[in-house]
A and B are shown apart, each in its own frame.
Chain A
Amino acid sequence: MAYEKINECFLVTDLYYSVEDNTWVRVNDDGTVTVGMTDVAQSLAGPILHARSKKPGTARKKGRPIGTVESGKWVGPVKSPVSGEIIEVNEELESDAQMLNRSPYYKGWIVKMKPDNLEADLADLVTGEAAVEAYRAKIDKEGITCTHIEGTETPEA
């Protein structure tokens, strides 16, 4: 899986990103999408203590929370980057919320969704080189350097 590293922040280049909300979308072969939070998001939050997701069957408009994440210093919503229905939640996060820190793009996925209008929603996100450039700008502007807890998985090149 191709990835970039900007100021220690990993970015998997084949995902679609909402740079503002620090979330990503993976388009699955069956037309569903997997959603999670970025390495930048986990780094800003610090070691995560609890993650709660909305239940399967919940309809979400883009921008509304699919769940909440809390650390010792931060709490907030994870905003859905697409509109659609939540069809599956990552139940492992309930017992091991720091999976979000250790593997934000893989084992730490948050929900799977059946999107309502994927093409239109993806057009509002960035991917590939555009995502790298957008994150580079954000990371520079906000002076972010990502930190990682023990056991963090590096995305495979």
Chain B
Amino acid sequence: MKVSDLASMDQFICMQNEYEDREITAGYTSDLLSDVMGNAEEGSVLITIQAHKNTVAVSSLAGIAAIIICNNRPLPEDMLAASADEGIAVFQTSENQFNTSALIAQHLGGCSAV
């Protein structure tokens, strides 16, 4: 799936649409950004509640394709500005991290652990 496919899904609101429409090859769910930095696969969509500009900095370093902010956490302006600079899409959803992860896994062709 591509980043633009997320934009067409009902659950996700695209908050910043100046992004590179990359292929999403995996997902990573974490609220500890040092863990994201160490363990997220390049090309992942990051599922998190960490709504601040440093999430964008970590995503850029880790090669994250898009960020989904769960539980309708508010997104600060400086986060959106940073993500526009980095060309990384940011979505907001009312779903929690578990449901969002399950949904993304379906679209990626199932869970790779089984």
The answer on A and B forming one complex is no
